């Protein structure tokens, strides 16, 4: 009886199982809800809270919490809530695009190194070399060198955005490349790949049809964690004064600017700091839950 | 093992050379000119001589080789004669900072103790906090201690040091006024009171970095303990009547420490990198702050040397981690 029911139940897809496991991880669920709210807040928030983050109202400067300014204003009377939303838009955009770039690089390097034996040596040596580079000093130096050139070429805001995304992307792909390579090396020897190869599947289609779908889980986990690191790196650069300019706020920049008024208005550093921390925390929880959900050994329990 | 160590050492040399070349080529693109600030009254031929004295105007490969000679030969000879008192360095050209016109390595040596104090102490404190937490949360998996530990380490891992640092300053310096927000490096410990002051000013920077380090290491410790706790040798140890304490602290702990020790070794360079931010918050005039100032002043020799020192640290500790791994775990000796 139960056997028949088990057979006649609708077929359970892989992603359905993953979702069921993901739902049991409370932190991951709360994290996804919070991250979705952050995404909504920074994308749609400025439509509701329509004060221009650049609008200078010098008479309302340094005001505290009020109805007109729920989070207060800064030393030029700019609305903190509007600036947090504008800053979040940049920070999250940097996080997402930098993650995409590093993932693209990492997956490409990992798949090529794992799949084509001839490329394995040189690509992995390059990965080792990148891992041995002193990243934070290098980031600072690159930004210093190319900031003015890119600003001149693309305008002050787009230029620095491209630069920071590019710099974070090319310095954070190594872990993803290593994980993907290890998985590809193991997958390459499996029977289904051999079967596909034996009927004459070309290498490119072998990679896109058979290898890539099977390394999707580690890629997804490192993608989520990549968002967190990218947001932290961008904020750290802005905090050191080498990121975005002051009139183009990001969370890190807002925090950096508020530290000048630490003695008089200590509460001002809380909002951007809390925004960074909670976003990163929620993304890390999502990554944690995804890792558990995508691991068939944990899911079987 | 010896052969493996030597092979890894030899392999580190081309890596470091390549990194130094990359750094050199990158910095060569820098727009700053050290003679741009000189007064216009200086005649052009004198200016040309100043440029030559700074090593500019030569083709790039010559300048790179000269830098290699200055950094590896001259500076090490100078360091040896400094330490031993022998005069073997002569008046060899050293790497000169464009900001202060004094040898870069001398400034680095001046700044090193501050960084080592703050960073080193925080790493040690972080490890001391992380290991017991990791052990207990693995032993009592899913207990309330484990849940709280997991949450705290998740928070410690996610909250960036520049927020924890600023938050601590707001609470303990601005509101409560207990601790100084600026680290005074000229402070000399002479008696009990000045010692207490030293402790108080170290407290916040060390805690900020220690929390971040402890969060990562305790996770590794927990995972590694969990891997070992269900293995057969643990059951054997229990069934032959060993005390629970001995089973955990001798048998399981020693085996779980193997990967954790390598993680600790691998983390050292990144701690130095993270210290750049912490030093900026608490105004510690260590290596990180030196780097920021040098970058802002486009002091190329200083930036080159400091970044290269960071690279040496990374390569060195990678090597140490691999060798320790081989020593601790006979199964994965490489020869």
- Rounded to whole angstroms, the Cα distance separating A35 from A45 reads 14
pLDDT at residue A100, rounded to an integer: 92
Instruction: Please judge whether B273 and A228 are an interchain contact, meaning their C-beta atoms are less than 8 angstroms apart.
Output: no
In a domain, A25, yes or no: yes
More confident residue, B128 or B99: B128
Say if residues B20 and B95 touch (Cβ distance below 8 Å). no
What is the tens place of the pLDDT at every residue in B207-230? 888 888 888 889 889 888 888 888
Q: What angle do CA A75, A80, A85 make, to 5 degrees?
A: 145
ipTM: 0.79
A1 confidence band (pLDDT: 50, 70, 90): very low
Name the packing angle between helices B300-328 and B2-28 (round to 10°). 160
Instruction: For A288, name the nearest residue in chain B, comparing CA atoms only.
Output: B154
Residue A281 to chain B, least CA–CA distance (Å): 5
Option in B15, B154, B166 nearest A284 (CB): B154
- Cβ-count burial A103-141 (b if 16+ within 10 Å, e if not): bebbbebbbbbbbeeeeeeebbeebeebbbbbbbbbbbb
Instruction: For A134, name the nearest residue in chain B, comparing CA atoms only.
Output: B311
CATH number reported for the structural domain that contains residue A145 in this entry: 1.10.3720.10
Option in A136, A269, A284 nearest B170 (CB): A269
Residues of B in contact with A259 (CB under 8 A): 166, 281
In a domain, A53, yes or no: no
Nearest one of B134, B142, B137 to B213, comparing CA atoms: B134
Instruction: For A136, name the nearest residue in chain B, comparing CA atoms only.
Output: B273
Say if residues A56 and A78 touch (Cβ distance below 8 Å). yes
In a domain, A4, yes or no: no
Option in B163, B280, B306 nearest A276 (CB): B163
Residue A202 to chain B, least CA–CA distance (Å): 36
What is the tens place of the pLDDT at every residue in B236-254? 988 998 888 888 888 888 8
- The two tokens of residue A91 are 């920070």
Return the bridge partners of B103, or none. B96
Residue A26 to chain B, least CA–CA distance (Å): 12
- Domain with A211, as residue range(s), is 17-46+76-299
Option in B155, B170, B311 nearest A133 (CB): B311
Instruction: Please judge whether A266 and B174 are an interchain contact, meaning their C-beta atoms are less than 8 angstroms apart.
Output: yes
Helices (H), B230-286: 232-239, 244-246, 253-282
What is the tens place of the pLDDT at every residue in B284-323? 888 888 888 888 877 888 888 888 888 888 888 888 888 8
In a domain, A130, yes or no: yes
Q: How many CB atoms lie within 10 A of CB B52?
A: 11
In a domain, A63, yes or no: no
Mutation for testing the B interface, residue in A95, A141, A275 having most B CBs under 10 Å = A141
Dihedral angle computed from the Cα positions of residues B190, B191, B196 and B200, in that order, rounded to the nearest 10 degrees: -20
Instruction: Please judge whether B303 and A277 are an interchain contact, meaning their C-beta atoms are less than 8 angstroms apart.
Output: no
What is the tens place of the pLDDT at every residue in A40-77? 888 887 777 777 777 777 676 667 677 666 777 777 76
Structural domains in chain A (count): 1
Domains of chain B: residue spans and CATH: 35-97 (no CATH), 107-328 (1.10.3720.10)
């Amino acid at each position: 009886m139960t056997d028949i029911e088990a057979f006649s139940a609708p077929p359970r897809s892989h992603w359905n199982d993953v979702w069921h496991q993901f739902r049991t991880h409370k932190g991951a669920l709360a994290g996804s809800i919070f991250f979705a709210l952050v995404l909504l807040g920074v994308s749609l928030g400025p439509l509701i809270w329509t004060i221009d983050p650049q609008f200078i109202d010098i008479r309302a400067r340094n005001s505290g919490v009020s109805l007109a300014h729920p989070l207060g204003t800064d030393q030029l009377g700019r609305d903190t809530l509007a600036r947090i939303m504008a800053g979040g838009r940049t920070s999250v955009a940097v996080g997402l695009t930098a993650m995409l770039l590093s993932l693209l690089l990492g997956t490409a390097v990992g798949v090529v190194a794992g799949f084509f034996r001839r490329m394995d040596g040189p690509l992995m040596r390059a990965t080792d070399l990148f891992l041995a580079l002193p990243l934070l000093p290098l980031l600072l130096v690159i930004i210093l060198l190319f900031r003015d050139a890119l600003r001149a070429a693309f305008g002050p805001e787009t230029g620095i955005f491209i630069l920071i995304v590019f710099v974070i992307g090319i310095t954070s792909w190594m872990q993803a490349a290593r994980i993907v390579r290890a998985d590809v090396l193991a997958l390459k020897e499996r029977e289904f790949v051999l079967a596909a190869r034996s009927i004459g599947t070309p290498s490119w289609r072998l990679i896109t049809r058979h290898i890539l779908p099977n390394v999707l889980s580690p890629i997804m986990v490192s993608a989520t964690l990549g968002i967190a690191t990218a947001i932290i790196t961008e904020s750290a650069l802005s905090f050191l004064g080498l990121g975005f300019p002051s009139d183009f706020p990001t969370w890190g920049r807002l925090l950096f600017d508020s530290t000048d008024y630490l003695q008089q208005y200590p509460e001002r550093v809380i909002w951007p700091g809390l925004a960074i921390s909670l976003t990163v925390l929620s993304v890390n929880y999502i990554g944690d839950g995804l890792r558990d959900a995508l691991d068939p050994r944990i899911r079987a329990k | 093992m010896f052969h493996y160590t030597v092979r890894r050492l030899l392999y580190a040399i081309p890596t470091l050379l390549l990194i130094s070349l990359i750094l050199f080529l990158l910095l060569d693109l820098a727009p700053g000119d050290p003679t741009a600030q000189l007064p216009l009254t200086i005649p052009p031929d004198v200016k040309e001589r100043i440029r030559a004295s700074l090593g500019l105007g030569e083709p790039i490969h010559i300048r790179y080789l000269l830098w290699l000679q200055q950094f590896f030969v001259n500076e090490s000879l100078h360091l040896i004669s400094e330490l031993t008192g022998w005069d073997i360095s002569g008046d060899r050209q050293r790497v000169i900072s464009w900001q202060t016109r004094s040898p870069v390595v001398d400034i680095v040596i001046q700044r090193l103790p501050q960084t080592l104090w703050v960073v080193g102490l925080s790493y040690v404190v972080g490890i001391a906090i992380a290991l017991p937490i990791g052990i207990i949360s693995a032993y009592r998996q899913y207990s309330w201690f484990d849940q709280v530990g997991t949450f705290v380490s998740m928070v410690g891992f996610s909250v960036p040091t520049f927020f924890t640092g600023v938050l601590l300053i707001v609470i303990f310096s601005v509101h409560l006024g207990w601790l100084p927000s600026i680290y005074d490096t000229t402070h000399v410990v002479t008696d009990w009171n000045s010692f207490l002051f030293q402790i108080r000013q170290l407290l916040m920077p060390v805690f900020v970095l220690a929390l971040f380090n402890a969060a990562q290491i305790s996770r590794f410790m927990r995972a590694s303990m969990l891997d070992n706790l269900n293995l057969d040798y643990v059951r054997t140890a229990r069934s032959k009547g060993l005390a629970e304490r001995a089973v955990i602290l001798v048998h399981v702990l020693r085996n779980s420490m193997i990967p954790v020790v390598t993680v600790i070794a691998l983390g050292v360079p990144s701690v130095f990198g993270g210290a750049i931010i912490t030093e900026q918050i608490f105004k510690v005039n260590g290596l990180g702050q030196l780097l920021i100032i040098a970058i802002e002043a486009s002091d190329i020799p200083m930036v080159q040397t400091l970044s290269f020192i960071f690279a040496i640290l990374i390569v060195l500790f990678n090597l140490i981690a691999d060798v320790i791994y081989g020593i601790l775990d006979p199964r994965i000796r490489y020869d």
